[in-house]
Amino acid sequence: MTIEPLQLSCSFCGKPQDMVNRLIASDGVRICNECVESCSELLISDLVEDGSEDTPQTWLDEPLPKPKELVKYLDEYVIGQEDAKKVLSVAVYNHYKRLSHKAKAANNNSSGTDNAIELQKSNILLIGSTGSGKTLLAQTLAKILNVPFAIADATTLTESGYVGEDVEGILLRLLQATEMDISEAERGIIYIDEIDKITCKSENPSISRDVSGEGVQQALLKIIEGTVAHVPPQGGRKHPNQECLPIDTSNILFICGGAFVGLEKMISRRNNQNQKTMGFTSAKTIDLTSQAKDNLLKDLEPEDIVKFGVIPELVGRLPIITTLKPLTEEALLAILTEPRNALVKQYQELMQMDNVQLEFEPEALLLIAQEAYRRKTGARALRGIMEDLMLDIMYELPSRQDIHHCLINKEMVNQHSTAELLFYPTSPLLQKNVG
């Protein structure tokens, strides 16, 4: 007589063991994997309805900073440029308000009706001399909004098929900033620097192709306006059999920046069309002061940028244009000490790690600002001067245990002399004040 094995079954749904993936038994009670999943879904649903478990938060749930709040935050990092801060803050606020409204409408399954107004994005063009804060403004805004950010140099771009970088490489940098998260990258900010360096080289037709000028401008049109671009995940040139990542650029905010050297002369000639000039001297006889340049840039028109060499189609895709003022000596002096990440504060933090208090005399800071202004490279000159000034000190002090304070005075800036100023057991400024 053959005894058949006992067929176990789920105590909840009654399904036999051979009809489920797994059967869990304890103290004579058995439950299958399907019942476990059903119970889990039921419990989670009850918790969400009761409000005892928060739903995952996304960037849409975070309050969007108002333009005035954005300007207030920018003031902590960027000195001056009030007009540019105002324009950028309003543009960025409107852009992400548009994205938030669009995404929430999609989440609520409220598809647009025929009467719905479609909000289009407005990309930005920043015009200002080198070191005036164009990149810093874009970086800081991305940091405030906690969105992905990537920087690209327009001078490295060429037309597809030529030696150089395709315009899709810009999008790859944004993807890499999000660890290849496409949905996250599609709400980011891309800053394209040196956009003025890819202007048309000449208005006259040429036999050779301008592969790094007008050709690149043409290639940028679609991704700036909004299209589904296919990006090689490993970078480099695309080939037919390569798998590419599709990324929609319609929600990516593009900020382009450039110095546009000589643009103010074009504006001046346009404003003085009644004054006729002859020959090649017409472009060189206009000698403008810094104040005059600032006043002229306020009269900037899109047609001036087209005459500079940017194709009209690209100008049309950058409807928001703002200019940054060159930094004065006073602004450079403020940049040294006032921002949250000011250079003086950075070096003081570095020295504090070696238990040394670093101090600067006001006259020394003034000389540094004056030297930076003389170099005509904006705020970038400040770091170069400071690095040169601090080299010997930062080489010597980590090995010294008898120094607790270091004073930078005007003699050090003028003569680059450091040895006699390293032996301060206490604060030299404090000693001077007490004396």
Q: CA-CA distance, 24 to 72, in Å (whole number)?
A: 60
Residue 282 near residue 217, CB atoms below 8 Å = no
Looking at residue 297, the DSSP 8-state letter turns out to be H
Would you say 131 is a known binding-site residue?
yes
Q: Which CA distances in Å does 272 have to 268, 287, 304?
A: 6, 14, 14
How many CA atoms does the CB half-sphere of 143 hold within 13 Å? Answer: 10
Would you say 134 is a known binding-site residue?
yes
Would you say 418 is a known binding-site residue?
no
Q: Tokens 């070096």 appear where?
A: 347
Residue 415 near residue 366, CB atoms below 8 Å = no
Nearest alpha-carbon partner for 124 in 328, 285, 319, 385: 319
Q: CA-CA distance, 263 to 404, in Å (whole number)?
A: 51
Pairing of strands 149-153, 124-127: unpaired
Would you say 135 is a known binding-site residue?
yes
Cα dihedral angle (422, 425, 428, 432), rounded to 10 degrees? Answer: -140
Contacts of 422 (CB under 8 A, 6+ apart): 393, 396, 397, 400, 403, 406
Q: CA-CA distance, 120 to 98, in Å (whole number)?
A: 8
Pairing of strands 253-258, 405-408: unpaired
Would you say 244 is a known binding-site residue?
no
Q: CA-CA distance, 361 to 412, in Å (whole number)?
A: 10
Residues of the binding site for ATP:
129-136
Residues of the binding site:
10, 13, 32, 35, 129-136
Residues of the binding site for Zn(2+):
10, 13, 32, 35
